[in-house]
Structures are given as structure tokens and as C-alpha cells.
Structure 1
Amino acid sequence: MQGKRESVISSDGTRIGLLTHGDGPPLLLVHGGMCRLERWAPLWEVLTSRYTVTAMDRRGRGSSGDAEDYHLDAEYDDVRAVAEAKGPLDVFAHSYGAVVALGAAARGAPLRRIALYEPPGPETVPADWLTRFQAAVAAGDLGRAAMSFLVEVVGLPQDQVLAMRDAPMAYDPMPIIARTMPREGSALAAVDLAALATAVPQPVLLLVGAASPAWAQKITDVLHENLARSSIATLDSQGHEAVDLVPDVVAQVLGRFFGETE
């Protein structure tokens, strides 16, 4: 991924690493849980040909720092710090990053239009699964934890997960699993997405895969009911990982929204 490495300082003093490239209206990308900013590689070329794109490393991974204690509000402030430095701008966020972007908007971040792909919530992390996941991480069995997350939560077939494990990657996700995902699971279990949505005045596009787990459609419907200005785009035959599998389709949907919504 080509671009200029930059950083901003969030409200608690944590450095948030950025990569910026392209030409056009400003667009921020916020990645999900088991990721770094490099997860946007499938979309990078097409988006940077249309927008000035900034991808952020969420705290605790990649080029970003971290704090001793974790609070989801701090992640909202991270997005706000980027938007204040770069914005006002549009944002596309995936999975856990979509929760972060929603919270940032609810706290007044200078975001123009918001596209969210399947933000998770309490339904995504039932107590029995979260206990097993956190126990696996604590025991150092990160492979089992990753398999559990990708199969039981994301809904991927086990053979697809095994193929992903054996494929070359731009970064090792295991340190991310160990450091950030247990705390993010606990945060999701307590988040009130409907309350956040009611405080968001911006137009929001909710992307959901037709083949995604049931929690994705349920949460999408709740957000649609509580957002002031929202629409839903359903991606036929796709699941939670459409950014990787059909990036051109995702880019087309984003282009229509960011090009047409006022």
C-alpha cells in the first residue's frame, strides 16, 4: 500500500498512526478487530484513485500506540482526533471499526457521511463464547481463539479459515488477537448501539451481507430504526468479509453513496 505515513495524538496522549494517499475528497477508513490498516489493501488502489484516503491503525496495533487501560470512548476520541486533523471527511468503517466510527459521530467528530459495514454488538459476543475465547487467549492458544472467532462469530467455513491461515499475509494477526481482542469483546458486550445511533445526525449507509450471520442483519435493522438519516445496502451472496472478496462491488456501493448523498 502506497502512501505517506503520518500520525495524530488522541485526547489521552496516544499516538494514532495513519497512511494517506490519493487525490480527491477526503475519506477515512477504520478497520475491524483482527486487523491493521493493511487490511484495506484490496480496496486501496480503487479508492485512492477517487479520494484522498487516510487509513488509521486503531490503538494497540501496527503504527499506533496504546494506553495502559482500555475504554471504548478512547477509540471514539481517536477517530475524532483524525477527523479534526484531516476533516471534515467521509468515513467507511468495517466491523468493530464501524462501532468506533459510530461512537465518534455520536460524540461530535467532524464527519460528513458515514458508511458502516456490519458493526457488531452484544449479540455478537454471547457470554459463553466470550468466556471461551478469552480463556483460549489467556492460555496462549491463539490459533484456537482465532478459529473460534472466525467460525463462530464471523461465520466463515472452517476450510476457508484454514486456507486463510496458510496464505501469505502482510502482518501477523496473532499479536492483535492477544493484545486487543479480549478487551474489545468485553467492550462490545456492554455497548448500546441504539443509544449511539440516536445521537448521530449525519447520513449513514449501512452495508450488510445477505449471507452474513444473523446478528449482522439484526444490528443493521436496529441502527436503521434509530439513526436520523440512514439507508441499507444489502450485498447479495456476501458475508462479513466482502471487503476482501468483492472489493469492486464494495467500492461501487460507496461511490454511489458518497457521490450522491448530501
Structure 2
Amino acid sequence: MTETAGTVHHVPSTDGTRIGITSTGSGRPIVVVHGSLNTAQDWQPLADRLAPHVTTWAVDRRGRGTSGDNTEHSLKQEQDDIAAVLDLVGPEAILVAHSFGASVALDAVLGRPLAGVVLYETGMPGEDHFPESTIGPFEDAARRGELDVAFEMGLRNVMRLDDAGVEAFRSSPVWSARAVLMPTWGRELRALNDFDPDLGRFAAITAPALVVVGDLSPGWIVDNSRRLQRNLPNSRLVELPGQGHEAYLTGTEQFAEVLLGFVREIDS
């Protein structure tokens, strides 16, 4: 498949930060909000696969890619960013949000009309949040420029991967691209500590919703997603066989078929 560059647009957020969005394809709009260790470019292969059927609007979350940044950071700022993009794209959009991006998106869409919502392994904390003993050393390593060290610490202490999981990441072609994003990961973990653990408020999201998990993903991430799905009144859980936390890259065709099936359900 030939990868296309897409067209980059910008929209100002509430604090004036310019948020970049890359549009690809034609048809019903799908707004993609990526996770902590990604940029919009990571979702381009999926956008190319979807291009004959929908328009993918892939957001670069603040601090990376085509977006600007601010010296301050909070969940509220990121929620304002998503709201600005959804205002641009319109209420016919389906929101697709991954990991930390899904945590941000949940509160951003409360009370907002949307055609549908897809939440892929929402990165909200469980009962044990991210303590200073986890975040502090990780941030110190990133500030010293020891990005590989910081990445390994994050994989072990945040994602809770074992030796085999860490080595699988280290030997993959995405290692260096992910390590570069370490300076923004720490602040996102701190922001997640402010995430309201009362999931009951999301019963107000009545749009059709898919909660997606991979059957190879860490158990705590899958458990969090299942808890969330039980609080969404018009939702169902979809498990991707043979996939983990990044099926948009490792199982692009498989994930695309799930999304297109959801689009067909909504359009019918």
C-alpha cells in the first residue's frame, strides 16, 4: 500500500496553542486522538487504508508533530484541544481515541453530540495511581537526555512489561521514535493522577461506542477497559485476536475492518 502524506490543518485551542490535524481520504469524518508514545504520523498507515471510505482527521496532541505546546500542561488543556478539533470537523464525526488520548477524550466528549466513539485501551489509572517513586526517576533520566533509559523505566514501571516485553520493544523499529517522546510522557502520567476515577459520569455518553482491547495486551489495561465499557450505556467490547496495544500498526487491516464495520452500523 502506498502511504500518503495527508493534508495538515491547524486550529487554535483555548490557550492559543496551535493544534495540528492531518486529514486523509473522503467520506464520514473520523477524528483520531493518539496515545502517549505516538504522533499523528503513526496512524497514517491506517488512515491510508481507510481513505476510500472515510476522512481520517489525525490529531497531533500538543507538544509533538505539527502541534505547538505550552509551558503548562493539564488534562483540561488537552480536552480543550480535542473540543477545538471536534468543533472544526462537526457532529457527524466518529471519535477514535487510544490509550492516554482516550483518557483525555472521555471528558472532552461529555455532553457533545457525536456519531460514535471508539476507545482503544483507555490509559486511565487503576486503583493504584502513578506515584512519585515511579514518575520522578523516569523524568530525571529524560531531563538528563538518557531517553533509552527513561523509556525502559517507563515500559517496566508504567506499562508493567516483563523482560521479554521490553526486549521486544527494544528490537523493534519503533524504539527510537518512541524514546524521543519521553519528555512528554512524564507530564501525562502526572496528569492522569488527576483523572476522576468515578466512571459513572460516562453514562452520559450515549452515542454508539466500541471499547477495543487486544488479547495480548497487559491485563491491567484490559481490565480498565472492561470497567469503562460497563459504564457506557450504548457500547460493546471488541477483542482483537493476536494484537496488543498498537494494533493500528501491527494489525492495520484487522483494526481497519473493525472501524469500517462500526461506520457501516452507524450509517445504516
User: What is the deviation of 1:87?
Assistant: 1.3
State which of 207, 215, 240 in structure 1 corresponds to 2:245. Answer: 240
Contact 2:19–2:81, Cα closer than 8 Å, also in 1 = yes
Corresponding letter in the other structure for 2:238: A
Corresponding letter in the other structure for 1:161: F
Q: Secondary structure, in 3 states, of the residue corresponding to 1:157?
A: helix
State which of 89, 93, 103 in structure 2 corresponds to 1:86. Answer: 89
Counterparts of 1:186-197 in structure 2, within 5 Å, are 186-193=190-197, 194-197=199-202
RMSD (Å), alpha carbons: 2.1
User: What is the deviation of 1:175?
Assistant: 4.3
Q: Secondary structure, in 3 states, of the residue corresponding to 1:45?
A: helix
* Structure with higher helix content: 1
Corresponding letter in the other structure for 1:98: A
User: What is the deviation of 1:32?
Assistant: 0.7
State which of 134, 140, 143 in structure 1 corresponds to 2:145. Answer: 140
Contact 1:29–1:55, Cα closer than 8 Å, also in 2 = yes
TM-score (norm 2): 0.88
Unaligned 5+ segments in structure 1 are none
Unaligned 5+ segments in structure 2 are none
Contact 2:24–2:48, Cα closer than 8 Å, also in 1 = no
Alignment identity in percent? 35
Contact 2:215–2:242, Cα closer than 8 Å, also in 1 = yes
Q: Which residue in the other structure is 1:183 paired with?
A: 187
Distance 1:139 1:196, change over 3 A: farther
User: What is the deviation of 1:68?
Assistant: 2.1
Counterparts of 1:150-229 in structure 2, within 5 Å, are 150-154=155-159, 155=161, 157-164=165-172, 167=173, 172-178=177-183, 180-193=184-197, 194-229=199-234
Contact 2:115–2:266, Cα closer than 8 Å, also in 1 = no
**What is the aligned residue count?**
257
Corresponding letter in the other structure for 1:176: L
Q: Which residue in the other structure is 1:36 paired with?
A: 39
Contact 1:151–1:161, Cα closer than 8 Å, also in 2 = no
Q: Which residue in the other structure is 2:67 paired with?
A: 64
Task: Give distance in 1, aligned partners of 2:47 and 2:94.
Answer: 16
State which of 11, 16, 31 in structure 2 corresponds to 1:8. Answer: 11
Distance 1:247 1:256, change over 3 A: same
TM-score (norm 1): 0.89
Task: Give distance in 2, aligned partners of 1:248 and 1:55.
Answer: 18
Contact 1:79–1:109, Cα closer than 8 Å, also in 2 = no
User: What is the deviation of 1:212?
Assistant: 0.8
